[in-house]
């Protein structure tokens, strides 16, 4: 009988066996009305294996599926495919934030403390109403253009099945029994990919507006990328079983990976001050262990957070003093990029290597001796932390360590100034001896205890991934391995490598060097217990592509080398859901300013629901016009868009509520010679400027344009008529009084000399003499005389006739803006010939207040590498 009451005695790994496989049991259970009214607490106790449900859900009122199980089911790739198009997630986030900020407008009624079941007659809703609502949600997110109508139909069918479950069919009324809808609606963590729900006691709330509740729950579902999910008879049981299955698998892997063993009573007493409860939560779409910090709660937990920040700062300072500082993704890419540029005329090879289960392979003895060697030359370390809010009301926390107290304070102040934290609180400096630091690491990492239920366990090897100190300790361990095995290769100029966490990237002109370096890792048996995961390792050469840590590296050829960030570069597009909805409601929806056919690169700008109250009206909006075959944001290696400029402006206090851009045309470079200043494009961009001014309420705007976007922007401001192949149109009245600054970058205001010889646009339509870039030919008798780009001209050029479109812009009597600035480069590879067209710089806008001329920038680099100068001109109205 004793063994039956205490199962830990018969199973040393009882903390794993507490979650058995329950699939055969669940298949035999039928949830009906009678079971709904049954006391679940009593029901679960009748069956010993089902008792695990009661242990997980300690709250008696959790009769229905919780968000933890829903999230665990949705992240399981076995049941649904990946969603296509990231703009859907952007719409979900924006609309979800809007709902969260206006939760108070939905009527919530509080029941009695005990929460008796009540039927709400005002919550009755028909299936047709719900269907219309789901279709409306699909229209808002434009799901059909991303995942297709068939998948949209599956989502609608699945959502209806969830809403009209067994307890709702027939009556069409909503009963409060901790249902999926009400729980998702009232739980703030539903939008944060968080774990189950708050542990605190939540009083019973009833949603009087079932339509709003369904909206909320559908957003939560789309937030987890639902596409196709098989609807079974007992959906909530199916989901719960999936969660338990995943939990059992993760717990077993954790036990095997870190050598978990059960503690004896003596070990338990010796390490009682280090014991905390180990939990598993949904982190990054997977079940991950959440490690306790000495069992602290509340304020103690925050103090432990501060404590580990100080320890991490000390470890980081020690490693930097010994010349082995960690590198960020951007620092690593800069190192690789410089090597590629130096060897652009040679064949370059790229290799990636991922260490297999690196954190569990760390040898405690080697790691301890490495830390002792690092601390040998240091006696005391001083650390200080501070926190505050920056310009965008974002909370910042910094912790710095150094040899002296003054150096630590100075580093903290530099970090605060860099992030522009105006109001902050700096705590007194703490002094820590190296002996105390070493003892702290040994007690918290090398002797790690935790408990699961009533049983206590100890980690015997490795540093658990997710521990606050795991990243820095793994860096020290891998650095020691590199010093011992790669001593010669580290100084070889034919090779460069970088590491982020446990992922390596090698760049070399001699592939044999990398093969020699990786040999100890491939063979195994080294004292560091490190091996390479061959399945995740990659190799690229020539024009192949390679992905490393979310960064896509393209090697076009020996002359073109480009690094394109795929997931590390922030996504600023498309238009915000608030702005997109406003455009539809005010008659601008027909112009398709979001350009979702280009994904997130099609557009940017707009306020969020929360940003409405923080919108800074002292800054005038900035509207961006890109060039031919370009896009609003980075779409590919050529169509780089305004991503760099937008990122710089955001770092200087601007928000996306002040920055706007939309794409015109497409990114097909072969079709660039066929585009001109047609009616449809100019009129559409004119309406975009009017929409931004109406949306923001601004009296004036700033315009930054590049390449062909310069002449498009000038015509948008000038207004008037255009004669083109698609007809004659009136753009509207001039907007010069409403434009504060126009900045033209590498424009062709007087045409392109490259158009000479293409017979008035016959071979290149973009060179036509009506609305194209024809530079004129009347100065000399022949078209092919090569004198277009000559400077100075051998004889005066009077009465030159060029493109009618450009002549109308350049001969206008009024200035296009209050302030005009021009930028170009003498090394422009597209305009060429020193930017001269018949004796004058073609990129200079008439009436310019100032010009900025660069020496060696290419056509696209004049836009990409001058973000700081662009910001200076817009804000200071002067040339930097």
Secondary structure of residue 193 in the 3-state scheme: coil
Contact 522, 351 (CB under 8 A): no
d(CA 661, CA 574): 9
Dihedral angle computed from the Cα positions of residues 854, 859, 865 and 871, in that order, rounded to the nearest 10 degrees: 80
Buried residues in 844-868 as b, exposed as e (16+ CB within 10 A): bbbebbebbebeebbbbbbbbebbe
**Which candidate, 253, 267, 300, 302, places its Cα nearest to that of 450?**
267
Judgement on whether residues 701 and 844 belong to the same structural domain of the protein: yes
Query: What's the total number of domains in the chain?
Result: 3
pLDDT at 340 over 50: yes
**Does residue 290 fall inside a structural domain?**
no
Per-residue pLDDT band for 99 (boundaries 50, 70, 90) equals very low
Query: Where a domain ends, among 219, 249, 279?
Result: 249
Q: Across the chain, how many H-helices and E-strands are there?
A: 28, 31
pLDDT at 690 over 90: yes
Judgement on whether residues 541 and 513 belong to the same structural domain of the protein: yes
What pLDDT digit, counting tens, does each position of 182-226 carry?
Answer: 344 344 333 233 232 322 222 222 222 333 334 444 444 443 322
DSSP H or E stretch at residue 171: none
- Of 93-102, 126-135, 521-530, 860-869, the poorest mean pLDDT is in 93-102
pLDDT for 318: 84
The residue segments making up the domain with residue 478 are: 326-363+465-568
Per-residue pLDDT band for 336 (boundaries 50, 70, 90) equals confident
Per-residue pLDDT band for 667 (boundaries 50, 70, 90) equals confident
**Does residue 429 fall inside a structural domain?**
no
Query: Where a domain ends, among 198, 233, 249?
Result: 249
What pLDDT digit, counting tens, does each position of 548-579 carry?
Answer: 776 667 665 433 334 443 333 456 878 887 88
- Of 13-22, 692-701, 744-753, 861-870, the poorest mean pLDDT is in 13-22
Kindly list the strands in the beta sheet with 455-459, ordered across the sheet, starting from the edge strand earlier in the chain. 260-262, 455-459, 448-452
What pLDDT digit, counting tens, does each position of 276-323 carry?
Answer: 556 665 554 455 666 655 445 555 556 767 777 888 888 888 888 877
**Does residue 743 fall inside a structural domain?**
yes
d(CA 674, CA 772): 10
pLDDT for 154: 59
d(CA 393, CA 391): 5
Rounded mean pLDDT of 321-336? Answer: 75
Q: Which residue has the higher pLDDT, 83 or 147?
A: 147
d(CA 660, CA 63): 48
pLDDT at 385 over 80: yes
* Burial grade of 756 (CB within 10 A; 0-12, 13-18, 19 or more): buried
Judgement on whether residues 547 and 594 belong to the same structural domain of the protein: no
pLDDT for 857: 87
How far from 113 is each of 40, 61, 116, 225, 814, CA to CA, in Å? Answer: 19, 12, 8, 36, 73
**Does residue 700 fall inside a structural domain?**
yes
Judgement on whether residues 482 and 620 belong to the same structural domain of the protein: no
Q: What is the pTM of this model?
A: 0.45
d(CA 765, CA 756): 12
Q: Which residue has the higher pLDDT, 135 or 696?
A: 696
Secondary structure of residue 804 in the 3-state scheme: helix
What pLDDT digit, counting tens, does each position of 415-468 carry?
Answer: 888 777 765 666 778 888 878 887 777 776 666 666 666 677 777 777 777 777
Q: Which stretches of 627-748 are DSSP H helices? A: 643-651, 679-696, 708-718
Measured N-to-C along each axis, helices 470-485 and 364-375 cross at an angle, to the nearest 10 degrees, of 90
**Which candidate, 611, 289, 614, 309, places its Cα nearest to that of 462?**
289
**Which candidate, 860, 834, 767, places its Cα nearest to that of 806?**
767
pLDDT for 155: 57
Q: How many CA atoms lie within 13 A of 430 on its CB side?
A: 21
DSSP H or E stretch at residue 642: none
Most confident by average pLDDT, 227-241, 374-388, 499-513, 684-698: 684-698
pLDDT for 738: 93
pLDDT for 339: 84
**Does residue 306 fall inside a structural domain?**
no
Per-residue pLDDT band for 851 (boundaries 50, 70, 90) equals very high
Q: Which stretches of 174-328 are DSSP H helices? A: 180-186, 210-223, 235-257, 265-270, 299-321
Token pair 């070990």 in the structure block, residue: 267
Judgement on whether residues 546 and 632 belong to the same structural domain of the protein: no
Judgement on whether residues 651 and 710 belong to the same structural domain of the protein: yes
Query: Where a domain ends, among 249, 271, 301?
Result: 249
DSSP class of residue 880? -
Give the percent of the chain with pLDDT over 90.
Answer: 11
pLDDT at 244 over 60: yes
DSSP class of residue 8? G
Buried residues in 36-48 as b, exposed as e (16+ CB within 10 A): beeebeeebeeee
Cβ neighbors of 860 (< 8 A, separation 6 or more) are 638, 640
pLDDT for 286: 54
Q: Which residue has the higher pLDDT, 291 or 413?
A: 413
Per-residue pLDDT band for 747 (boundaries 50, 70, 90) equals very high
Judgement on whether residues 597 and 538 belong to the same structural domain of the protein: no
- Indicate which CATH number applies to the domain containing 737: 3.40.50.1820
174: which strand partners? 120
**Which candidate, 735, 733, 710, places its Cα nearest to that of 805?**
710
Strand ranges inside 417-509, DSSP E? 423-426, 430-433, 448-452, 455-459, 495-500, 503-508
pLDDT for 874: 94
pLDDT for 795: 60
pLDDT for 337: 77
Cβ neighbors of 445 (< 8 A, separation 6 or more) are 463, 467, 469, 473
**Which candidate, 417, 381, 380, places its Cα nearest to that of 398?**
417
Rounded mean pLDDT of 526-553? Answer: 76
**Which candidate, 739, 733, 708, 735, places its Cα nearest to that of 720?**
733
d(CA 770, CA 231): 61
Judgement on whether residues 564 and 589 belong to the same structural domain of the protein: no
What pLDDT digit, counting tens, does each position of 777-831 carry?
Answer: 656 554 444 567 666 665 656 556 788 888 888 888 888 899 999 999 988 888 8
Judgement on whether residues 517 and 621 belong to the same structural domain of the protein: no
Judgement on whether residues 619 and 657 belong to the same structural domain of the protein: yes
Judgement on whether residues 805 and 842 belong to the same structural domain of the protein: yes
pLDDT for 516: 84
Dig out the tokens for 495 from the structure.
């090779």
Judgement on whether residues 563 and 596 belong to the same structural domain of the protein: no
Mean pLDDT of the residues in the chain: 68
Rounded mean pLDDT of 163-180? Answer: 35
What pLDDT digit, counting tens, does each position of 771-791 carry?
Answer: 888 887 656 554 444 567 666
The dihedrals phi and psi of 212, each to the nearest 5 degrees, come to -65, -35
Cα 199 off chain centre by: 29
**Does residue 839 fall inside a structural domain?**
yes
**Does residue 377 fall inside a structural domain?**
no
Q: Which residue has the higher pLDDT, 832 or 740?
A: 740
**Which candidate, 468, 73, 439, places its Cα nearest to that of 276?**
468
**Does residue 413 fall inside a structural domain?**
no
Give the percent of the chain with pLDDT over 70.
Answer: 57
Cα 62 off chain centre by: 34
Token pair 């149109």 in the structure block, residue: 729
Q: Which residue has the higher pLDDT, 96 or 7?
A: 96
Q: Angle 735-736-737 (CA atoms, 0-180°, nearest 5)? A: 95
d(CA 320, CA 380): 16
pLDDT at 409 over 90: no
Rounded mean pLDDT of 13-32? Answer: 30
């Amino acid at each position: 009988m004793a063994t039956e009451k205490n199962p830990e005695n018969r199973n040393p790994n009882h903390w794993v066996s507490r979650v058995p496989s329950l699939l055969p049991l669940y298949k035999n259970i039928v949830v009906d009305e009678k079971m709904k009214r049954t006391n679940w607490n009593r029901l679960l106790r009748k069956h010993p294996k089902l008792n695990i449900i009661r242990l997980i859900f300690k709250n008696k009122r959790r009769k229905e599926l919780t968000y933890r199980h829903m999230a665990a089911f949705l992240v399981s790739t076995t049941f649904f495919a990946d969603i296509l198009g990231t703009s859907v997630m952007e719409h979900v986030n924006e609309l979800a934030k809007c709902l969260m900020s206006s939760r108070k407008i939905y009527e919530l009624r509080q029941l009695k403390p005990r929460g008796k079941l009540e039927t709400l007659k005002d919550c009755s809703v028909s299936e047709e109403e719900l269907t219309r609502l789901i279709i409306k949600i699909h229209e808002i997110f434009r799901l059909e253009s991303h995942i297709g109508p068939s998948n949209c139909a599956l989502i609608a069918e699945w959502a209806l099945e969830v809403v009209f479950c067994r307890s709702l069919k027939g009556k069409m009324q909503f009963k409060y029994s901790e249902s999926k809808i009400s729980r998702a609606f009232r739980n703030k963590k539903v939008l944060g990919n968080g774990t189950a729900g708050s542990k605190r006691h939540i009083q019973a709330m009833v949603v009087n507006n079932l339509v709003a509740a369904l909206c909320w729950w559908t957003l939560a579902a789309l937030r987890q990328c639902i596409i196709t999910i098989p609807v079974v008879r007992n959906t909530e049981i199916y989901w719960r079983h999936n969660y338990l299955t995943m939990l059992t698998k993760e717990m077993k892997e954790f036990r095997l990976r870190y050598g978990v063993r059960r503690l004896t009573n003596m070990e338990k007493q010796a390490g009682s001050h280090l014991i905390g409860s180990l939990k598993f939560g949904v982190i990054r779409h997977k079940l991950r262990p959440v490690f306790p910090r000495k069992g602290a709660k509340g304020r103690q937990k925050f103090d432990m957070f501060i404590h580990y920040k100080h320890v991490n700062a000390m470890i980081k300072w020690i490693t930097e003093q010994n010349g082995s500082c960690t590198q960020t993704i951007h620092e690593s890419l800069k190192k690789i990029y410089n090597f590629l540029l130096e060897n652009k005329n040679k064949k370059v090879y790229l290799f990636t290597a991922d260490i297999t289960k690196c954190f569990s392979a760390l040898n405690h003895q080697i790691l301890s001796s490495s830390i002792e060697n690092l601390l040998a030359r240091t006696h005391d370390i001083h650390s200080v932390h501070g926190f505050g809010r920056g310009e965008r009301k974002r909370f910042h926390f910094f912790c710095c360590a150094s040899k002296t107290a003054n150096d630590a304070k100075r580093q903290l102040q530099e970090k605060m100034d860099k992030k522009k934290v105006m109001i902050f609180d700096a705590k007194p400096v703490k002094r820590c001896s190296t002996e105390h630091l070493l003892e702290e690491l040994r007690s918290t990492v090398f002797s790690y205890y935790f408990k699961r239920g009533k049983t206590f366990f100890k980690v015997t090897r490795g540093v658990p991934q997710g521990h606050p100190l795991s990243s820095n300790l793994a860096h020290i361990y891998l650095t020691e391995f590199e010093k011992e095995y790669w001593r010669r290769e580290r100084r070889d100029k034919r090779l460069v490598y970088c590491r982020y966490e446990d992922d390596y990237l090698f760049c070399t002109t001699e592939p044999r060097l990398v093969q020699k370096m990786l040999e100890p890792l491939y063979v195994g048996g080294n004292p560091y217990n490190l091996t390479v995961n061959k399945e995740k390792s990659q190799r690229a050469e020539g024009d192949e592509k390679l992905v490393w840590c979310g960064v896509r590296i393209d090697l076009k050829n020996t002359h073109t080398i480009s690094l394109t960030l795929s997931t590390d570069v922030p996504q600023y597009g498309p238009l915000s859901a608030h702005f997109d909805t406003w455009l539809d409601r005010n008659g601008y929806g027909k112009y398709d300013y979001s350009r979702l056919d280009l994904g997130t690169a099609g557009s940017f700008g707009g306020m969020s629901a929360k940003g409405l109250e923080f919108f800074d009206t002292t800054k005038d909006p900035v509207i961006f016009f890109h060039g031919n075959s370009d896009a609003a944001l980075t779409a590919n290696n050529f169509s780089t868009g305004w991503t760099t400029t937008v990122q710089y402006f955001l770092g200087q206090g601007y928000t996306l509520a002040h920055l706007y851009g939309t794409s015109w045309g497409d990114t097909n470079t072969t079709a660039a010679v066929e585009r001109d200043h047609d009616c449809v494009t100019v009129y559409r961009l004119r309406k975009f400027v009017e929409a931004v001014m109406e949306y923001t309420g601004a009296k004036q705007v700033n315009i930054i344009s590049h390449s062909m976007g310069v002449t498009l922007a000038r015509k948008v401001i000038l207004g008037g008529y255009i004669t083109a192949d698609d007809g004659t149109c009136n753009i509207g009245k001039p907007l010069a009084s409403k434009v504060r600054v126009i900045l033209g970058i590498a424009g062709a205001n007087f045409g392109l000399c490259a158009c000479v010889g293409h017979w008035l646009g016959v071979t290149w339509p973009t060179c036509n003499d009506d609305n194209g870039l024809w530079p004129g030919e009347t100065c000399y008798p022949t078209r092919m005389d090569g004198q277009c780009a000559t400077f100075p001209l051998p004889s005066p050029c009077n009465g030159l006739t060029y493109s009618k479109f450009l002549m109308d812009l350049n001969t206008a009597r009024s200035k296009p803006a209050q302030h005009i600035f021009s930028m170009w480069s003498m090394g422009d590879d597209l305009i060429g010939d020193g930017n001269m067209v018949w004796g004058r710089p073609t990129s200079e806008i008439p009436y310019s207040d100032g010009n900025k001329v660069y020496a060696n920038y290419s056509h696209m680099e004049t836009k990409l590498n001058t973000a700081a100068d662009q910001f200076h001109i817009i804000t200071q109205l002067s040339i930097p």
